[in-house]
Amino acid sequence: MPHSDCGSPDHELHRRLFLQGSLAAGAASVGSFSGLFSIPAFAEAAKRQQKHCILLWLCGAPSQFETWDPKPGRPTAGPFGSIPTRLPGVRFCELMPNCATIVDKLSVVRSMKTDQSEHFQAIDLLNRGESPRPPFVRPALGSVLGQQLAQVDSSIPNFVLLDPCPEGNEYKRFKAGNWAGWLGAEYGPVRVGGEYKIENLAMPEMLSDADHADREALRRFFSKKYENDRRSAAAGSYNAAFERVRGMMSCASLFDLDRLPQEDREKYGPGTFGTHTLLARHLVENGAPFVMVSNGMPWDCHVFNHEIHQMLVPELDRVLFHLVQDLEDRGMLDDTLVIAMGEFGRTPWLNEARGRDHYPNAWSLAMAGCGIQRGVVFGATDKDGIEVASEPVDQRRLFATIFTALGLDPHVEYDLPGLPTFTRVEEEAEPIHEILA
């Protein structure tokens, strides 16, 4: 704009420089790192040290008898046999021949014991490490890891949730209430559905990149001013959510699986679960800290348990096998924690509809990769899989294990206004040291 006194072009200020200068003062209040290290050097160090997590969420809860903890010859076993694995004496269900060959890369926990038997309550429990206690809502695992593992210079979302269920299907659509809790909207999930692409990220043809940058700078200026004037946490969360948009625009192509080799798509399989897991691998390769793959709720086998598992378990077996192998082949397994679990297990008995119902008393999960010992089967159930016979593990010990494996202190203290001081995981909850590397 021209100077009010002389109108000389030498005194013309570009609107973008004005806005950037205004924002610089606000950014300075965050704190200066110049005395410690340069920002580029810090970013490169963060990249070299970054860890990732892929959670394969088997929504609805698979049966431990038809996967990791078969009971051949027992009344609870069902029609499927068991097969040997690479670990002497360890057997998996015969529906998992691929995972039997990579058990030396896995840690299997057969002694999970939790206390929620309804889906939504158990989903919350196994995604937060404890049940929500209003008005305090503990952030979900993806939000915490998205915050803690994110690269400082990355435009990729901190927490990606790949969920095939459409809007409106609230029973099957993955839900965990207020995901980010007190962390705020910046650390909630970016949700992608069955199309494997994020729609509506392209700018209108009439809008240039420079104009978009100007508009974003103006929005940030007024948002920051509003936030500073009122010290509002809500305003800060909204502002952070808006600021993700431009970064999302720059990485939208990462969500387009048409760009990946057809060979990769074929080996993971045509189903949504396999395709989403391949996308998770691709996102992690490009810097995503946390990706969660949810497959609707197909594992909720209250009817025809055996028939449904005969379809679903081979897919899980194939997908988990290729994910672990691919990460190792790319040199990423030591830096990427892979977790495969549902919200509980299935009953040792069948109901009248030949299904297995919800059963949190004794169930199994598998982990691999970052911070995890290879070739470990931890804990055991009794001969019929009715009770945990040794080394019970609840959700708190599980979360302590996950955080420790990723190099995070599970007992770090938080001190939030109006709430008592609390820790990331309950202080008495020790990680499973036997499966930590």
Cα 115 from Cα 139, distance rounded (Å): 20
The alpha helices in 154-208, defined as continuous H runs, are none
> Sign (positive/negative) of CA torsion 367, 373, 374, 377?
negative
Strand, coil or helix: what is 340? strand
**DSSP code of 203?**
P
Q: Which two tokens stand for residue 417?
A: 């206004």
Query: What's the rounded Cα separation, in Å, for the pair 332 and 105?
Result: 13
Place of tokens 């399989």: 269
Residues 6+ apart with CB under 8 A from 212: 203, 246
Closest by CA position to 223, among listed 208, 209, 235: 235
Q: Could you tell me the CA-to-CA distances from 257 to 3, 277, 278, 279, 283 in Å, in that order?
A: 52, 11, 9, 7, 11
Dihedral, 121, 127, 130, 132 alpha carbons, nearest 10: -60
Phi, psi of 81, deg, nearest 5? -85, -175
Q: What integer pLDDT is reported at residue 216 of this predicted model?
A: 64
User: CB of 155 within 8 A of CB of 192?
Assistant: no
Question: Are the CB atoms for 366 and 105 separated by under 8 Å?
Answer: no
| pLDDT per residue rounded down to tens, the chain (437 residues) | 444 444 444 444 444 444 444 444 443 333 333 333 344 444 444 444 789 999 999 999 999 999 999 999 999 999 999 999 999 999 999 999 999 999 999 999 999 999 999 998 999 999 999 876 666 778 999 999 999 998 876 778 899 999 876 555 555 556 666 788 888 888 888 888 755 555 555 556 666 667 656 666 665 666 666 656 655 555 555 555 555 555 555 566 777 778 888 999 999 988 889 999 999 999 999 899 999 998 877 899 999 999 999 999 999 999 999 999 999 999 999 999 999 999 999 999 999 999 999 999 999 999 999 999 999 999 999 999 999 999 999 999 999 999 999 999 999 988 887 777 888 998 789 999 999 99
Residue 144 structure tokens: 């915490």
Closest-CA residue to 56 (of 148, 112, 119, 126): 126
What is the rounded CA–CA span in Å between residue 169 and residue 178? 18
* DSSP secondary structure string for all residues of 397-415: HHHHHHHHHTT--TT-EE-
Q: What is the pTM of this model?
A: 0.80
Locate tokens 């200068």: which residue?
A: 21
Structure tokens at 157: 């979302």
Phi, psi of 351 (to 5 degrees): -85, -175
- Which residues are 380's β-sheet partners? 390
Report whether the peptide linkage leading into residue 135 is cis, meaning its omega lies within 30 degrees of zero: yes
Q: Look up residue 243 and give its two tokens.
A: 């600021």
* CA distances to 3, 22, 179, 257 from 266, in Å: 64, 51, 33, 12
**In a 10 Å sphere around its CB, with 0-12 CB exposed, 13-18 middle and 19+ buried, how is residue 36 labelled?**
exposed
Domains of the chain: 50-197+272-435 (3.40.720.10), 200-255 (no CATH)
CA atoms within 13 A on the CB side of 38: 3
Contact 385, 64 (CB under 8 A): yes
Q: How far apart are CA 409 and CA 198, in angstroms?
A: 34
Q: Find out whether 156 and 286 touch, Cβ atoms under 8 Å.
A: yes
Half-sphere exposure of 31 (CA within 13 A, CB side): 3
- Centre a 10 Å sphere on the Cβ of residue 298 and count the other Cβ atoms it contains: 18
Structure tokens at 351: 């109901």
State residue 385's pLDDT score: 98
- Both structure tokens of 162: 């790949």
